[in-house]
Structure 1
Amino acid sequence: MSRARVLLLNPALGPLDYRVPRGMDVAPGSIVVAPLGPRQLTGVVWEAESLPSAGEVGDNRLRNLVGVHDAPPLPAPLRRLIEWTAAYYLAPPAAVLRMALASASALEGGRSITEYRATGRTPERTTPQRAQALERIGERQGLVRELAAIGGVSDAVIRGLVKAGAIEPVEVALDSPYPVPDPNHAPPVLAEAQAAVAADLAAAVDAAAFQPILLDGVTGSGKTEVYFEAIAAALRAGRQTLVLLPEIALTEPFLRRFEARFGVAPVAWHSDLRQSQRRRAWRAIASGEAKVVVGARSALFLPYPALGLIVVDEAHETSFKQEEGVPYHARDVAVMRAMLEGIPVVLASATPAIETLHQVEIGRYRVLHLPARYGGADMPDIAALDLVADPPERGRWLAPALVAALAETLERGEQALLFLNRRGYAPLTLCRACGHRFQCPNCTAWMVEHRLVRRLQCHHCGHLMTPPTACPECKAEDSLVACGPGVERIADEVTALFPEARTAIVTSDTIWSPARAAEFVARMEAGAIDIVVGTQLITKGYHFPELTLVGVVDADLGLQGGDLRAAERSFQQIAQVAGRAGRGEKPGRVLVQTFDPEAPVIRALVTGDADGFYAAETAARRDAGAPPFGRFAAIVVSSEKAEAAVETARLIGRAAPRVDGMQVYGPAPAPLAMLRGRHRQRLLVHARRALPVQEVIRDWLGALDWPASVRVAVDVDPYSFL
């Protein structure tokens, strides 16, 4: 090549052409260093026909490429995936490319690095900041800036602890090889139905052809063990496997199960990795050395050269939809990557999304069923508790029947789980004297009280404040009152009712890393916890044989608001948390607290009529032209100045094209009218399924100009309507 088209890691730029110096060997996919003004940027060589440039530049005006990184080139299927994702989600290709090159240090040659870890010694001079840092760091290690982030302190505090001998340097080899999983290490004993499905999945891997498969199995049916046999088939064929999990908190339990089956742990990829771990994992993946990768949604864009299987576990989970940056849905992009790679993709779920079931119905996806729990365990009995007929005591949140069931469970020496999808102590704090409510100064949201750490926090932007002793509005002392329950408040109630019971709170505030998740699992398995109070973090992936009672504190919570998927999401969430009960030999019981026992969602859960619920929801979506029968796209306009946001939103609204089969609603203030200090306006595009809505929006917005201070973001197939 004498000239090369390069996609730089700068979303503001399109592809640029460069001259390839004599002696430099580059091809499509090569990761190069290119000059841009006085800077040098990383980029990837691309096919000119795939990424047209703004205008042709003569050879005599081209600048030379500076160099080629010592890293394998990005494979062609990944380059096609980047192009598709950028086009479908209306994102700059460079923003998608950045996810593929997620470790800048991985592009450098092999070397070692100095990291730091706690020595266990207490420094002579202990400040509150030093104590906090050492407590949070625990046994973790990393660079100075990484430990500072973990400890919530400045780099200077960490360096001070190094000088004091409380933290020590340790040399880390960056490219030590990963052990290879053994497909024959410990083959499981599968039930007849499991063995048949496992053989079917293994055959799909051996066929090495695109095949989307829904693995639809009830909670506790052994879906993980079944798709492990598909992974074994990929290993025998010398191919790589990617397993996507919706939460990094689930990674540690999964790693343990994987290691028991294959003898070694897979390669992990998630946001909790240190820089050195990310570098090692990226290079092992790109070279093909990493045979099995388990990770969060971002693992989908890594450069696998020999991918043979993709598994999306808990495929119904909404956390697979990324809301920031490129707003892609990992489940859908996983199917597209499998198609481009020519391999099978398995979507595993006990409560599949309506979109997935529709693909099965029209024949695009195959479905494999696991209708019974493994080992003969029965599904739990589910009953609704009518909070109108049998309300909790005044000032309490647990109904008498649920309290009695907790007492019986504790008496038998078994474990219980109380589920409430609301972090903190209370969602709202107000003054009983003047009615003042504590609102985030940056967002249209209430400050949530977290009593365990004595703070008020915004769950949208992270703003923190210490709860005052007096009302800031009327100055009344001791007038502040917590309204509504969060998990901390339920835990307090449990402690008051059962002071001898050992209680654990499980939320993203307490289980913030795989290591914390592993610690929680170990305590549950050792019987060191009697009652768990948790959010949606506890609803999936965990297997505790002694957990026999599940109480859903507020089944109506998820049905509030105008979300089109509210009923489906509530059904999935409650069905998943119910599935934690009775997974061993002992029978399980689920009690669902609600003010409306006759609501379709509650009736479907109690009667076990999932098919009826899905049929009714699907019919309602079809009538409304909602996904999967129609399409939505949100256009969100934001600015630090409210007038600028309103004016730009009106400009976009006035220019909306008249297209048959497409309606534009708005503009109107977004439900979260201010987020992180920016005022927000929203337009919603509703189109028939076959309409190329991305082309329409691209032409529509591309013809308009707005101030540089205003951001216009497009979310295709939105999951959040805030």
Structure 2
Amino acid sequence: MHPPGWKSSPPNQLPGVASRPRIRVLLPLPLAAGAYDYGIPPGLQVAPGDFVVVPLGGRQLVGVAWDGATDAALPASRLRDVQQVLDAPPMTETLRRFIAWVAAYTLSPPGAVLRMAMSSPGGLEPPAAHAGWQAAPGPPPARLTPGRARVLAALAAGQVRAGAELAQEAGVSPAVLRGMADAGLLLPALLPRGPAFAPPDLSLPGPALGAEQAAAVAALRAQVAARDFSVTLLTGVTGSGKTEVYLDAVAECLAQGRQALVLLPEIALSAQWLERFRRRFGVDPALWHSELGAKTRAKTWRAVAEGEVPVLVGARSALFLPFPDLGLVVVDEEHETAFKQEEGVVYHARDMAVVRARLAQASIVLVSATPSLETLNNVESGRYRHLDLPERHGAAGMARVQALDLRKSPPERGRFLAPPLVAAIGQTLARGEQAMLFLNRRGYAPLTLCRACGHRMRCPNCTAWLVEHRAQKRLQCHHCGHAEPIPPTCPECQAPGTLTPVGPGVERVVEEATLLFPDARRIVMASDTIPGPAAAAAAAAMISDRQVDLIIGTQIVAKGWHFPGLTLVGVVDADLGLAGGDLRAAERTLQVLHQVAGRAGRAEAPGLVLLQTFNPDHPVMQALVSGDLEAFMAAEAAGRRPGHWPPFGRLAALVVSSEDEREADRAARDLGLAAPRAEGVEVLGPAPAPLALLRGRHRRRLLLKARKEVPVQPLIRDWLARVTLPPSVRVQVDVDPVGFM
């Protein structure tokens, strides 16, 4: 296939020369055509995996020489040439196969997936060389000033050292070095490149392990040492030492001379995880997340490609880094929805990590105290191994969980903390222990309405209420980012002072806690107040050092923190995640609440968890109180199996969107009329999406539901090919959706 945007052969090409070598090149662009054919000019060697510069239209772009046969029917006279091969490690065949696999599975253009694997253009450039000094050959002069003698003494034979470092050690000024160079005593030379990242120290002893942990470590080490593909689910109650166990598997991977990748759902909040890594290996791992600057990203990308990164810990995008010899992948908190990318190429990093490990002949460990039903089903079917740590490590026992029935013990009017929870916090603080309040809702209030006319403050771009953020004196949409000042009068009826916040957000809980416990030292942990790794590390240090009495936060506080002084967790609204018709609402609510409950009582003092709920008899509340999560998941599976709902069937969502509502309706209708009709396949919709307006685009959803054995990708490809849609209409395909907004 030839690139678009050209009209005639470039002047350096001879029409009709049929024997010119050619190669396919994939560009990091969302082009449906995939790879294009390019000619290889004389004297240039190009092989699959090479990063190359090629012309496209009037631009010069960097792409990857790709696998597969070129189009023999395309005349050589119509080819444009590869311009340059970059001095960068070629993309491995494993990563090229992974990109092709992800593109086919998610029904995305291969170039869009390639763009994720080329996320740091600076990494394609060789690192800059730095100049230093070395001693001139031959014996030094008999007479030297003391300073010059110290300089030469600091330089071993053939050694090259940086000027500033050399001058400081010898106790001389840079002018002395320049004078020695003028006298022929020093020669300029390039400094040797040191390792980009310090190698982990495998001789450091790990923590003392119990019998169950030691058995799990032995099993994981054996699988890694086998240097073959395997999938293991590592489960265990919160605080059972799952991290320490899989870090031993990392040590085995490094002993095998291979690379390890650890995926965390919130890498920016991993301060305590990094401290555990440092204690185990004596160094920091390489990091990969959105907070990194361009220079650090380029250095890390290049070091990964050159095999100089033994261990990397990152967010889901780290899965597309160019590891040449990946031996172990760990997906921590594998059930987390943060591993699902909802924009651009829509993929689930947990599932794609299994594919990446299989292609690399690597071991993969999925870790969770509350694994997803999909993963549990793979264990039951024998596809995944299972290791379990049923008890907390050391002297800590599991926290006691109680449901507070808000129908029997309601909060005071205008308040959101019930009297039993208020009393428990007071007792905890009086004992000198720490307490936590959890509400998975940012801001001050989720809704603002007018008491006079009932007008509700809505986002102009989305089907969503504006959330009040009182500290910033603004109303904000958490979907598109739209923000506006809190108006002094109602926009509808112009009545002054009638806008009222409805319902609690975490800021409102802080306000109430301040009134109830004015002497308690408080900290708020939400994405508004913990914007990145530095803030997270500072907050964790303050809590661990007992500079905080009361922690108030959103889902951030559930993310694997270890605070020995924390003995009480109060969940302000345990029913929050159960509303709506989401297939996984109950499963997700259980996972979040179990995670946050696991923060309590992780040291010697016993822990208590209080769940404020209007429905204490709900299966989620009963499972949390009894601690029988297995029975709950078994009941969830039994409810989904008859209807062939995931994991016992397949789902794929098509989201049709347009800035014109009628156009979105027409496109969705046309897709509905062309929906596939086959045995074991059902198409639901079209219907307005729950967020029917998002970022100014009207959205309609169709849901393809199929039996497990039905391959949905060919069905969807054929379905989309039968309908011609205007360019202004977008169709986003989500294979295996985890959300339905």
TM-score by length of 2: 0.88
Q: 1:567 aligns with which of 554, 570, 586?
A: 586
Cα separation, partners in 2 of 1:510 and 1:176, compared to 1, 3 Å:
farther
- Determine whether 1:619 maps to 2:638: yes
- Determine whether 1:75 maps to 2:92: yes
1:89 is aligned with what amino acid? T
1:643 is aligned with what amino acid? R
Match of 1:139? none
Q: How does 1:270-669 map to 2 (within 5 A)?
A: 270-669=289-688
- Return the alpha-carbon distance in structure 1 between the equivalents of residues 194 and 316 of structure 2: 24
Deviation at residue 174 of structure 1 after TM alignment: 11
Cα separation, partners in 2 of 1:80 and 1:476, compared to 1, 3 Å:
same
- Return the alpha-carbon distance in structure 2 between the equivalents of residues 599 and 25 of structure 1: 66
Q: Is this contact kept in 1: 2:28–2:113, CA < 8 A?
A: no
Deviation at residue 434 of structure 1 after TM alignment: 1.1
Match of 2:114? 97
Q: Is this contact kept in 2: 1:213–1:345, CA < 8 A?
A: yes
Q: Is this contact kept in 2: 1:571–1:605, CA < 8 A?
A: yes
- Partner SS for 2:690: strand
Match of 1:62? 79
The C-alpha deviation readout for 1:680-721, integer Å capped at 9, x for no partner, is 111111111111111000011022211111111111111110
Q: Is this contact kept in 2: 1:252–1:518, CA < 8 A?
A: yes
2:118 is aligned with what amino acid? L
- Partner SS for 2:546: coil
Match of 1:151? none
Deviation at residue 603 of structure 1 after TM alignment: 0.5
Match of 2:64? 44
Q: Is this contact kept in 1: 2:272–2:562, CA < 8 A?
A: no
Aligned length: 660
1:659 is aligned with what amino acid? A
Match of 1:118? none
Q: Is this contact kept in 2: 1:243–1:311, CA < 8 A?
A: yes
- Return the alpha-carbon distance in structure 2 between the equivalents of residues 425 and 709 of structure 1: 37
- Return the alpha-carbon distance in structure 1 between the equivalents of residues 497 and 269 of structure 2: 41
Deviation at residue 436 of structure 1 after TM alignment: 1.0
Deviation at residue 376 of structure 1 after TM alignment: 2.7
Q: Which runs of 5+ in 2 are unaligned?
A: 1-19, 131-191
- Return the alpha-carbon distance in structure 2 between the equivalents of residues 251 and 705 of structure 1: 47
The C-alpha deviation readout for 1:126-146, integer Å capped at 9, x for no partner, is xxxxxxxxxxxxxxxxxxxxx
Deviation at residue 74 of structure 1 after TM alignment: 1.1
Q: Which runs of 5+ in 1 are unaligned?
A: 114-172
Q: Is this contact kept in 2: 1:6–1:15, CA < 8 A?
A: yes
Deviation at residue 253 of structure 1 after TM alignment: 2.1
- Return the alpha-carbon distance in structure 2 between the equivalents of residues 278 and 62 of structure 1: 35
- Return the alpha-carbon distance in structure 1 between the equivalents of residues 473 and 278 of structure 2: 40
Q: 1:108 aligns with which of 125, 134, 138?
A: 125
- Return the alpha-carbon distance in structure 2 between the equivalents of residues 174 and 333 of structure 1: 34
- Return the alpha-carbon distance in structure 2 between the equivalents of residues 624 and 512 of structure 1: 42
- Partner SS for 1:226: helix
2:63 is aligned with what amino acid? G
- Determine whether 1:223 maps to 2:249: no
The C-alpha deviation readout for 1:46-92, integer Å capped at 9, x for no partner, is 1115xx76x84123321110111221111111111111111111111
Q: Is this contact kept in 2: 1:249–1:511, CA < 8 A?
A: no
Q: 2:203 aligns with which of 184, 208, 214?
A: 184
- Return the alpha-carbon distance in structure 2 between the equivalents of residues 332 and 657 of structure 1: 26
Cα separation, partners in 2 of 1:414 and 1:701, compared to 1, 3 Å:
same
2:76 is aligned with what amino acid? D
- Determine whether 1:245 maps to 2:264: yes
Deviation at residue 182 of structure 1 after TM alignment: 1.2
- Partner SS for 1:401: helix
Deviation at residue 622 of structure 1 after TM alignment: 0.4
- Return the alpha-carbon distance in structure 1 between the equivalents of residues 204 and 74 of structure 2: 58
The C-alpha deviation readout for 1:384-413, integer Å capped at 9, x for no partner, is 000001101111101111000000110011
- Return the alpha-carbon distance in structure 2 between the equivalents of residues 180 and 289 of structure 1: 9
Q: Is this contact kept in 1: 2:271–2:540, CA < 8 A?
A: no
2:99 is aligned with what amino acid? I
- Return the alpha-carbon distance in structure 2 between the equivalents of residues 643 and 112 of structure 1: 59
- Partner SS for 1:34: strand
2:116 is aligned with what amino acid? M
The C-alpha deviation readout for 1:438-464, integer Å capped at 9, x for no partner, is 100000000001112211110000001
2:691 is aligned with what amino acid? L
- Partner SS for 2:641: helix
- Return the alpha-carbon distance in structure 1 between the equivalents of residues 660 and 79 of structure 2: 42
- Return the alpha-carbon distance in structure 1 between the equivalents of residues 523 and 712 of structure 2: 47
The C-alpha deviation readout for 1:289-342, integer Å capped at 9, x for no partner, is 011000000000111001110000011101101111111000000011111111
- Return the alpha-carbon distance in structure 2 between the equivalents of residues 112 and 625 of structure 1: 59
- Partner SS for 2:587: helix
Cα separation, partners in 2 of 1:521 and 1:337, compared to 1, 3 Å:
same
TM-score by length of 1: 0.90
Match of 1:27? 47
Q: Is this contact kept in 2: 1:111–1:175, CA < 8 A?
A: no
Deviation at residue 175 of structure 1 after TM alignment: 8.8
- Return the alpha-carbon distance in structure 1 between the equivalents of residues 28 and 386 of structure 2: 40
**What is the RMSD of the two structures over their aligned residues, measured on CA atoms?**
1.5
Deviation at residue 111 of structure 1 after TM alignment: 2.5
Deviation at residue 109 of structure 1 after TM alignment: 2.3
- Partner SS for 1:375: coil
Q: Is this contact kept in 1: 2:25–2:65, CA < 8 A?
A: yes
Deviation at residue 621 of structure 1 after TM alignment: 1.1
Q: How does 1:95-244 map to 2 (within 5 A)?
A: 95-111=112-128, 177-244=196-263
Match of 1:17? 37
Deviation at residue 3 of structure 1 after TM alignment: 1.2
- Return the alpha-carbon distance in structure 2 between the equivalents of residues 17 and 638 of structure 1: 33
The C-alpha deviation readout for 1:546-569, integer Å capped at 9, x for no partner, is 000001111111000111000000
- Return the alpha-carbon distance in structure 2 between the equivalents of residues 509 and 636 of structure 1: 30
- Return the alpha-carbon distance in structure 2 between the equivalents of residues 301 and 9 of structure 1: 13
Deviation at residue 582 of structure 1 after TM alignment: 0.4
Deviation at residue 668 of structure 1 after TM alignment: 1.1
2:368 is aligned with what amino acid? S
- Return the alpha-carbon distance in structure 2 between the equivalents of residues 624 and 557 of structure 1: 26
Which has the larger Rg?
A: 2
- Return the alpha-carbon distance in structure 2 between the equivalents of residues 259 and 24 of structure 1: 46
- Return the alpha-carbon distance in structure 1 between the equivalents of residues 253 and 275 of structure 2: 20
